[in-house]
């Protein structure tokens, strides 16, 4: 007899990742699809999710699917109210996909799922007060207070990415200006590296310029990470800038929440210390009263960019139990 598969799906602004997840958080089969965009029909996105889930299931029976969505999910886990990087606007995603797939589906915000995974198996295990961030296409967040994941009055707590950090700053997909995620995210990393390459012009022959074939318009986040790992100065400068913005924003949040630990997941966390070292320096440099207090450790999620998938699987597993 084949055990039914539990699948977690992370629905991000750039890509969809689905995976079979074991009870201890280990990933087995993984499928990826590009996110079709935020201005497309909802059906296109849900088709992509369906394909990814079917690829992971590979004909085996599925016990349930957990969805980690990069957007505002209501407190009941039924609807995606709003998602700057996805087409859902008030859609009853859980019920619709339950019906389409014929299996139990659970839904939560991607950062909340990351917090679940890291609290259950990762860097926030046993921690009463934790701040969890996902740095991907944008920034998501979750707060653990008094040992519990807190969702606020309407289930929308943790949307730190749209805090205004620069008056009249860069325009944001949310409609605002100067949002934190315009300075600290995968998008910001690529934009900063692209500007660096363009400024260097023909003189640039480093790893990053070669990776994009000399065309900065084709740069991607993983290229910047690989370039920085290879010592490319433009890529390193992009991480220094984005990491510094991460640290300043984390300092604002630490002043407000005083967590024991700050855990960073999301796609850009794959870069590890390339991102976190400049962030740690900025955190200590910007945190009010840093010399009179404990500065919390700033840690990469144990499950890195996959923490959302792991937490989503945990969520649906809990509903099945």
Q: Given the rule CB under 8 A, which residues bind its own copies?
A: 72, 81-82, 84, 89-90, 128-129, 141, 143, 145-146, 148, 150-160, 162-167, 174-176, 179, 248, 251-253, 255-260, 286, 288-289, 292-294, 296
Between 26 and 154, whose beta carbon lies closer to its own copies?
A: 154
Q: Determine the length of the chain.
A: 321
Q: CA 304 to CA 189: how far, in whole Å?
A: 17
CB of residue 280 vs its own copies: minimum separation in angstroms? Answer: 17
Q: What angle do CA 118, 79, 131 make, to 5 degrees?
A: 25
Between 39 and 153, whose beta carbon lies closer to its own copies?
A: 153
C-alpha gyration radius of the chain: 19
CB of residue 5 vs its own copies: minimum separation in angstroms? Answer: 34
8 A C-beta contact, residue 63 and residue 320: yes
CB of residue 35 vs its own copies: minimum separation in angstroms? Answer: 19
CA-based nearest residue to 263, from 308, 294, 315, 228: 308
Between 91 and 232, whose beta carbon lies closer to its own copies?
A: 91
H/E element, 85: none
Q: CA 283 to CA 295: how far, in whole Å?
A: 8
CB of residue 54 vs its own copies: minimum separation in angstroms? Answer: 31
**CA dihedral sign, ordered 83, 84, 90, 93:** negative
Between 101 and 245, whose beta carbon lies closer to its own copies?
A: 245
CB of residue 73 vs its own copies: minimum separation in angstroms? Answer: 12
Between 81 and 207, whose beta carbon lies closer to its own copies?
A: 81
Between 67 and 157, whose beta carbon lies closer to its own copies?
A: 157
CB of residue 124 vs its own copies: minimum separation in angstroms? Answer: 12
State the residue for tokens 């400024």: 199
Between 110 and 306, whose beta carbon lies closer to its own copies?
A: 110
Q: CA 253 to CA 259: how far, in whole Å?
A: 9
Six-digit token pair at 132? 């969890």
CB of residue 103 vs its own copies: minimum separation in angstroms? Answer: 28
Burial (CB count <10 Å: 0-12, 13-18, 19+), residue 234: buried
């Amino acid at each position: 007899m084949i055990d039914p598969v539990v699948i977690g799906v992370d629905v991000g602004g750039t890509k969809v990742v689905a995976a079979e997840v074991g009870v201890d958080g280990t990933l087995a089969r993984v499928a990826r699809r590009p996110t079709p965009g935020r201005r497309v029909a909802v059906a296109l996105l849900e088709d992509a999710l369906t394909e990814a889930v079917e690829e992971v299931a590979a004909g085996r029976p599925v016990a349930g699917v957990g969805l980690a969505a990069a957007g505002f999910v209501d407190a009941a886990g039924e609807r995606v109210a709003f998602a700057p990087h996805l087409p859902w606007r008030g859609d009853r995603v859980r019920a619709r996909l339950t019906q389409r797939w014929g299996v139990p589906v659970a839904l939560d915000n991607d950062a909340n799922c990351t917090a679940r995974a890291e609290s259950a198996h990762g860097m926030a295990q046993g921690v009463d007060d934790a701040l969890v961030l996902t740095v991907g296409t944008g920034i998501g967040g979750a707060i653990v207070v008094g040992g519990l994941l807190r969702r606020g009055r309407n289930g929308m707590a943790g949307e730190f990415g749209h805090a205004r950090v620069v008056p009249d700053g860069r325009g944001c997909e949310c409609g605002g200006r100067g949002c934190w995620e315009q300075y600290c995210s995968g998008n910001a990393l690529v934009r900063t590296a692209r500007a660096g390459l363009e400024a260097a012009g023909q003189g640039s022959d480093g790893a990053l310029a070669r990776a994009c074939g000399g065309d900065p318009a084709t740069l991607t986040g993983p290229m910047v990470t690989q370039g920085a790992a290879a010592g490319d100065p433009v890529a390193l400068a992009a991480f220094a800038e984005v990491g510094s913005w991460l640290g300043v924003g984390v300092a604002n949040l630490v002043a407000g929440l005083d967590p024991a630990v700050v855990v960073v997941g999301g796609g850009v966390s794959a870069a590890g210390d390339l991102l976190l070292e400049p962030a740690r320096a900025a955190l200590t440099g910007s945190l009010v009263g840093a010399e009179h207090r404990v500065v919390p450790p700033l840690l990469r999620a144990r499950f890195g960019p996959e923490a959302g998938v792991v937490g989503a699987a945990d969520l649906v597993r809990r509903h099945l139990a």
